[in-house]
Structures are given as structure tokens and as C-alpha cells.
Amino acid sequence: MERVLVTGGAGFIGSNFVKLLLGRKRKVHVTVLDKLTYAGNLKNLEEVINRRDFTFIKGDICNKKILDEILPRTDIIYNFAAETHVDRSILEAGSFVRTDIVGTYTLLQKTLEHKIDRFVQVSTDEVYGSIARGKFRETDPIEPNSPYSASKSGADLLVRAFHVTYGLPVLITRSSNNYGPFQHPEKFIPLFITNALEGNPMPLYGDGRNVRDWIHVDDNCRAIELVGRRGKVGEVYNIGAGEEKENIYIARKIIDLVGASEDLLTLVTDRPGHDRRYALDSKKINRLGWKKRVGFDKGLETTVRWYRRNESWWRPIKKGAFKKYYSAMYGKRISQASKRKGKR
Ligand code: NAD
Ligand code: TYD
């Protein structure tokens, strides 16, 4: 039986990934190592937490001692653990450098010492920077623009170096923006869905015309699992669904699906260094045998339905510390936008 370590498995993509692994016929034992930061939530793992083929350990990927305890019982590592929100990285970059770079380095070093079969680094298309036309390929240079994407790039380069220098059996996935159930309500799609449900302003950055290539989390999880099982060691795999959408298109769709008022749409001061467009060439993962199953419009509809039915999951998150973050990030921008609206 394969023994799998999923770091960051109490977060959005990691928790969906754990459920995918445990839902398969193939017998595995899954251990989650997660620090339970503001983004980690044990409720995301409720349906698997008591299973005998599942173990949860609260801890930091920077903690060598914990890794020395877990890794002798591990065959394959999927490293999802990271600080992940671009906006937070603009407010405070230190925790991104610590977890995304130093944490990944610590895991790599311990993976080497404990002779693990495979190390899958879960990375992002944001390492490539912004692209005006065409699509990013795996061979394109890394040109990150935010402290988040720079930290993830640092991790990717260390992963590559551990392969080239020490022969560590690594693989890297770079997926585009994910959406789906259990995504923290500070990220674009869940923030807009929950604000619409609450009747609160939906703060669109800049002109609302930035483009992201959206992928449903289930599709990404299937691709990551495939890379872990069948990918070629030392290689990078882009994972995108080819669903390029402007933010304003998504915001309008959410308004329609929720039945909210157009007046909630609020253009606010742009994010500094805001990448204009991401788009991925995913032919390499297609050749490995993966293709998307969930189209964007259908996926958004089921996601809106999930947030509607799971208020008991997101409402508590939006209380407490979230409020402080929200007012630091949006308070001034939204009141400026309301003043501008009032003058018209
Ligand atoms: P998330 O923020 O929802 O979850 C991150 C998880 O990591 C949380 O459970 C958190 O508690 C945990 N964590 C943070 N620091 C840790 C540490 N030092 N030690 C152990 N655990 C720690 O993030 P997500 O959206 O699920 O993203 C997962 C991974 O996928 C990240 O590596 C991210 O860079 C990558 N990714 C995300 C997207 C996306 O659209 N969400 C797209 C491409 C790649
Ligand atoms: P986000 O979910 O933060 O992902 P990323 O920046 O990593 O791609 O944002 C997705 C897009 O939505 C991005 O272009 C920024 C935009 N956005 C807004 O317009 N308003 C918001 O409140 C947020 C959180 C994001």
C-alpha cells in the first residue's frame, strides 16, 4: 500500500486532493501535515478525518523534527503547503518567503535524507508572470511579479536544483487559477459569491478586464495525481483548462446566478503589480492522458450552489480575523468608489 504525505492538506486544493485519493479504488494511506494557518480548516477534512487510512498531523513544513518522524513512513510527497494569496503577500511578504521557500527547502532536504520515491511540488502559472498574447509553455522563463509568485518561483528553482544536483526524484505541476468547493472566501470567486449572497459590494480591481485561465479544482486534483503516478521525473507540467475569462465576466455571471443586484459591482483601485493575463499551454499534460471534465460555466454554477448550501462553512470564516483583513484590504478602496459613484 502506497503511503502518501499531503502537506497543506487542510487547505482548499489539498483537502479536495485528499478526498480524491481516498475515494479511489487503489489502496493508499494518506497523512496530512498542515500548520492550520488562517487558510487551513479541519472542517475541510470532516468526511475523512476518522478513517483508518487517514492521519492528520498539525505541524509546520519548516519543522525538521516532525519531518524526521513522518518521512520514514512515506513513499510519495505532494507539497501543497504554502502561503497562497497575492493580496496578503503585498501586505506582508515574510511568511511567504518562510513557508514557500524555506519550507520547501526543508522538505527537499529531508526528502533527500529519507530517500522518498517521489516529490511532487504543487506550483502555479503565476511563476511565469503576465502574458499579453499566446500561452505559457513549460520551457518559458520564470518572471514572477508578486511576492507570492516570487516565493513560489524560489521553491520551483530549489526543486529543480535538488533534482539536477542530487538526483532527487521531483516533479512540478503549474496550474492556473482554481475554483470550487472549500475555497477560502478571501479569494476572488468565493469572495464575490459570498458578498453577493450577503448583499455586499463586489470589489473589482482596476477596469475588471484582467484575465485568468480558470480550472475546476477536481480537474486540477486529477491532473496532479496523474503527474505523481505517471509523470516523468525532473519534468514540469502545466495544468490549465483553457477557460480564459475576464474578471468582469465572472462577476456578472455570479450576479446572475445569485440573483443579486448589478449595483453591487464596484470598481476599486487596482492591486499593485497586477498581472494582466495568464494563459497556459497544457498539451504536455494532455499527452500524459489528462483532459478537463468541467466546463467553466457549469463549474461556476455548481460552485455557487455549494456556497449557497454551505453557509455554515463560510459564515464563521468571514467573522473575526477576516473582518480586520477585509477592512485593511478594501475599506478605503470601497469608500472611495462609493464617493465616486455618488458624484456621478
Ligand atoms: P490554501 O491557502 O487554501 O491552503 C494552504 C494550506 O497550507 C493551508 O491549509 C495552510 O494551513 C497550510 N500551510 C500554510 N503554511 C504552512 C506551513 N508552513 N506548514 C504546513 N502547512 C502550511 O491554498 P490552495 O489554494 O489550496 O493552494 C494549494 C497549493 O496550490 C499552493 O502551493 C498554491 O501555491 C498552489 N496553487 C494554488 C492555486 C489556486 O488557484 N488556489 C493555483 C495554482 C497553484
Ligand atoms: P485571486 O483569487 O486573488 O487570484 P490571483 O491573483 O492569484 O490570480 O484573484 C483572481 C483575479 O481577481 C485577479 O485578477 C485579481 C481579481 N480580484 C478582484 O478583482 N477583486 C478581489 O477582491 C480579488 C480578491 C481579486
Query: What is the number of the ligand closest to the CA of 190?
Result: 2
pLDDT of 293 higher than 90: yes
Angle between helices 188-198 and 247-258 (to 10 degrees): 40
pLDDT at 338: 82
pLDDT at 342: 73
Phi, psi of 337 (to 5 degrees): -65, -40
Sheet-wide strand order for 2-7: 54-58, 28-34, 2-7, 76-79, 118-124, 170-175, 236-239
DSSP 169: -
User: Which mutation among 5, 6, 12 tests ligand 1's pocket best, with the greatest number of atoms within 8 A of CB?
Assistant: 12
pLDDT at 117: 94
> pLDDT band at 140, cuts 50/70/90?
very high
List the chain domain ranges. 2-180+217-239
DSSP 136: B
pLDDT at 161: 98
Whether the CB of 37 sits within 6 Å of ligand 1: yes
Phi, psi of 310 (to 5 degrees): -120, 45
For residue 80, count CB atoms less than 10 angstroms from its CB and return exposed for 0-12, middle for 13-18, buried for 19 or more: buried
Residue nearest to atom 44 of ligand 1 (CA): 124
Decide the pairing of beta strands 211-213 and 244-246: antiparallel
Q: What is the pLDDT of residues 187-207, one digit of tens each?
A: 999 999 999 999 999 999 999
Percent of the chain scoring above 90 in pLDDT: 97
Query: What is the number of the ligand closest to the CA of 70?
Result: 1
Active site residue 83: no
Active site residue 148: yes
Active site residue 138: no
Atom index in ligand 1 nearest the CA of residue 85 equals 2
> pLDDT band at 344, cuts 50/70/90?
low
pLDDT of 26 higher than 90: no
Fold of 2-180+217-239: Rossmann fold (3.40.50)
Percent of the chain scoring above 70 in pLDDT: 99
Whether the CB of 191 sits within 6 Å of ligand 2: yes
